[in-house]
Structure 1
Amino acid sequence: MIKDALYSIGLSGFYFDDQRAIKAGAKEDGFAYRGIPLTSGYESVRQKGESISVILILDDDQIAFGDCAAIQYSGAGGREPLFKAKELVKDLENVVFPFLFQEKWESFRFICQKLETLSINGRKLHTALRYGVSQAILDAFSKYYKKTMTEIIRDEYLLNFDIKKIPIFAQSGDERYINVDKMILKRVDVLPHALINNVETKLGWRGEKLIEYLGWLKERVKILGDENYHPIFHIDVYGTIGIAFQYNIDEIVEYMEKLEKICYPYKLRIEGPVDMESKELQIDFLSKIKRKLKERGINVDIVADEWCNSLDDIKDFIKAEAVDMIQIKTPVLGSIHNSIEAVLYCKENNIGAYLGGSCNETDRSAQVSVHIALATQADQILAKPGMGVDEGLMIVYNEMMRTLKILKKKGLNVIDA
């Protein structure tokens, strides 16, 4: 099926940031940070993001490709160490490419499952490599069978959902005011992320800065939106609520109740209210928060991110009834078949499936994520890469709308394309 394999080293859509150093108080200096890195592998608190494009030449000279990329906060929350492209291309040349040439190209899913088992000196391939190579594999099947990647996934997993547009979630980065205006003007479905990753400067030691921000956000939606625009408010707090309220569950729940009232009538989701530095502790604490919210009739959704790094982790969070929604962080899960199966597992268990990822991905990985979301009918997808809103939103929205039109033309059951 393939006759050649190449790679090129490129840039990603954002930067690698040492989350531990930022939480510890690294100071912003223009767009950089001043401070000493605290996470292994980092040379500075913020450094350029990297990617590797994996390029497959098919027997008929068609070209398939995918991009290896890693998340902004690499090395945090139990995740893989910093992705260094020049070091990892050796694994492509010595292990991955020989594997691809030896394989019988009969099933996208089967090849991806075998890709996950490859090891080098007892260690698995970096998740970023598995992520990018699996994208290229999916694209190769798409090119060979002359179908969209959405169709390949649906065929492989025997999916027959009606197909409709997936709500898009945009992230503001630190420009949490100007970028909100962009989101409202473009009628983004879910917003603004807001990057609340520091207690002192962004949340407030009693949560007062986030309270003020959410009040502003609601008014801004009313001013720039219209009566038919009802976005969901989704805020990622990176564990800062736990820090500010010293992990007192009653105080955390009371604070969330205040946030719910401020946001009404808009739905509120809080991602990562605490970061307990281990999966077991994270599940236990989030479960307690969720139960307390339910007991008090507080309608705030809890979204898992940190310590939810694999398909097995996602299953553990769901079985413990710890959350209302899971961020399926695509680069962290490695081969994309894991992200596909994670969305399907969430849907089977009535848990929100947020096909996320990172601002530090690429245009290509974002496009492939759109096909995963459409095929599995995820509940929302991240606008990525980058933190400028417009670029990532354009990439995800346009790929989605193109694909919906193509699928409708082919006679699939597409709703409102």
Structure 2
Amino acid sequence: MQIKDVLLAPGNGAFFYDDQAAIRSGATHDGFLYVGEPMTPGFTSLRVPASSLSVGLVLTDDTIVWGDMMGVQYSGAGGRDSLFDTAHISALTARVVAPRLLDVDASRYLYACAEVFQPFEHKRLPLAIEYGASQALLRAAAHLHRTTMSEIICDEFKLPLPKHRVPIYCQSGDAREINVDKMILKAVDVLPHGLINSRQKFGTDGQTFMEFVKWVAARTLQIGRPGYHPVLHFDVYGWIGQEIGLEPQSIADFICKVADTVPNFMLNIESPADFGSTQAQIENYAKIVSILDNRGSSARIVVDERCNTLEDIRLFAESKATHLVQIKTPDVGSIADTARAVLICKANKVGAYVGGSCTETDLSAQASVHVSVATQADMMLAKPGMGVDEAFSIVGNEQNRLLAMLNRRRAHTENVG
């Protein structure tokens, strides 16, 4: 077999793990810290430095390929896996996953993933393990076939070689105004995220949020280059439902009101409300989608919370319970399932946004680019981190390098043909 050893190396994610329940309950800032008692199991404080675990596959030619495991910023919230524990994940990987990796044909990507990610003790492996090991397996297959990760995905899923770039979405974190300016100056396709994750940032009846939306639109016109016209995408972390109420009609009315303040822009509203379960989320989001569509609104809603696994994504897409799915890569598990998720969205004419988390790494971000481009997702997140410059550089440059390689491959094939 092509894998002769497995290495593990602890690492850092690019941001922090945050206790969403405590933050929603009114935790206050002290500098960069949040002050208060943890509410989500596993958290010893409200903000924890993000950890990761790299898994390296030593191939028979002594090449070592890597993938990175980690959790997402709001671990343990909205039906997600609990807080990432490096020691536990490392022990489980060494005991269960490593022997499986040594026993697979790494040149057959989907087959290898299926073999390695079989249940353990009648339960699915932690999604972080699937995520990191599937990145390493994808790099191994690409190395063995002397091709790109993107081409492995295309070959396995019978997709044509991609030609087009995928729009990139940047997130601002708390440094909203400065980072919005950076995004506009760099002509980012979709912006700004906004981190509207507290009552203070949302405001009474959403007034603070609405003023921010108007400011972003005005700032874009003020300092953007001629012809620059990004999509405006705001993550409100359920605060429309928290402040306005959980009636779908009221939520749709508010979203339309926001869209009317920026009439010349496409407006994405991510996580307008959390209805407490996947089924309730599907039923109520479907109503919101229907109301917005019937009104011909320029606003689209994006699902994140309660839509974690591949099966969740399938249910939302088939139910038309969102305009756009954030495929949150560490929550989906195997990056092969991220590819499947994009294809499910496309089959159901629902937008596919390959997202993830600010807690990720350069390696996981680069692997996500290859899957996004191969499947021609509608947009992808600039990651990791909560800034703009580094994440936009990592994702944007990887995409440009990939497209240059694919164009060369296509030209060579056409010349030979």
TM-score range, shorter chain: over 0.9
Residue 219 of structure 2 is aligned to residue 220 of structure 1 = yes
State the shift of 1:50 in Å: 0.5
Any idea what the Cα deviations from partners look like across 1:217-271, whole Å, max 9, x if unmatched?
1111011102310000001111100111122333222211121111220100101
Q: Secondary structure at the match of 1:392?
A: helix
2:392 counterpart residue number: 393
Residue 78 of structure 2 is aligned to residue 81 of structure 1 = no
Q: How does 1:148-297 map to 2 (within 5 A)?
A: 148-160=148-160, 162-199=162-199, 201-297=200-296
Larger deviation, residues 286-295 vs 51-60: 286-295
Amino acid at match of 1:2: I
CA contact (8 A) 2:174 2:195 kept: yes
Whole-angstrom CA distance in 2 between matches of 1:155 and 1:244:
47
Whole-angstrom CA distance in 2 between matches of 1:106 and 1:405:
24
1:71 counterpart residue number: 72
1:138 counterpart residue number: 138
Amino acid at match of 1:183: M
Residue 328 of structure 2 is aligned to residue 335 of structure 1 = no
Amino acid at match of 1:222: L
2:97 counterpart residue number: 96
Whole-angstrom CA distance in 2 between matches of 1:236 and 1:327:
11
Whole-angstrom CA distance in 2 between matches of 1:130 and 1:162:
26
1:381 counterpart residue number: 380
Runs of at least 5 residues in structure 1 that lack an aligned partner in the other structure: none
Whole-angstrom CA distance in 1 between matches of 2:405 and 2:123:
41
CA contact (8 A) 1:171 1:192 kept: yes
Whole-angstrom CA distance in 1 between matches of 2:260 and 2:95:
57
CA contact (8 A) 2:106 2:137 kept: no
Q: Secondary structure at the match of 2:93?
A: helix
Any idea what the Cα deviations from partners look like across 1:103-154, whole Å, max 9, x if unmatched?
23351011112333231x4432211111000100000011111101011111
Any idea what the Cα deviations from partners look like across 1:383-406, whole Å, max 9, x if unmatched?
000011111110000111011111
Any idea what the Cα deviations from partners look like across 1:9-56, whole Å, max 9, x if unmatched?
000010000001000011111001100110000010001100011111
CA contact (8 A) 1:150 1:372 kept: yes
Q: Secondary structure at the match of 1:396?
A: helix
State the shift of 1:413 in Å: 10
Whole-angstrom CA distance in 2 between matches of 1:334 and 1:317:
18
CA contact (8 A) 2:246 2:275 kept: no
Whole-angstrom CA distance in 2 between matches of 1:391 and 1:106:
32
Q: Secondary structure at the match of 2:296?
A: coil
2:401 counterpart residue number: 402
Whole-angstrom CA distance in 1 between matches of 2:324 and 2:217:
22
State the shift of 1:161 in Å: 5.2
Q: How does 1:22-41 map to 2 (within 5 A)?
A: 22-41=23-42
Whole-angstrom CA distance in 2 between matches of 1:300 and 1:263:
10
CA contact (8 A) 1:366 1:396 kept: yes
Amino acid at match of 1:194: G
Whole-angstrom CA distance in 1 between matches of 2:412 and 2:391:
27
2:124 counterpart residue number: 124
CA contact (8 A) 1:3 1:58 kept: yes
CA contact (8 A) 2:107 2:144 kept: no
Any idea what the Cα deviations from partners look like across 1:286-332, whole Å, max 9, x if unmatched?
11111111222222101110110111111111121111110001000
CA contact (8 A) 1:327 1:353 kept: yes
Q: Secondary structure at the match of 1:207?
A: helix
Whole-angstrom CA distance in 1 between matches of 2:251 and 2:149:
43
Residue 371 of structure 2 is aligned to residue 372 of structure 1 = yes
2:114 counterpart residue number: 113
State TM-score, norm by structure 2. Answer: 0.96
Whole-angstrom CA distance in 1 between matches of 2:62 and 2:116:
24
Any idea what the Cα deviations from partners look like across 1:58-79, whole Å, max 9, x if unmatched?
1011121110111000000001
Whole-angstrom CA distance in 1 between matches of 2:392 and 2:113:
28
State TM-score, norm by structure 1. Answer: 0.96
Whole-angstrom CA distance in 2 between matches of 1:37 and 1:413:
57
1:351 counterpart residue number: 350
CA contact (8 A) 2:236 2:269 kept: yes
Q: Secondary structure at the match of 1:411?
A: helix
2:147 counterpart residue number: 147
State the shift of 1:159 in Å: 0.4
Amino acid at match of 2:92: D
CA contact (8 A) 1:163 1:413 kept: no
Q: Secondary structure at the match of 1:64?
A: strand
Any idea what the Cα deviations from partners look like across 1:331-387, whole Å, max 9, x if unmatched?
001111110000011111111100000000000000000000111000100000001
Whole-angstrom CA distance in 2 between matches of 1:63 and 1:96:
17
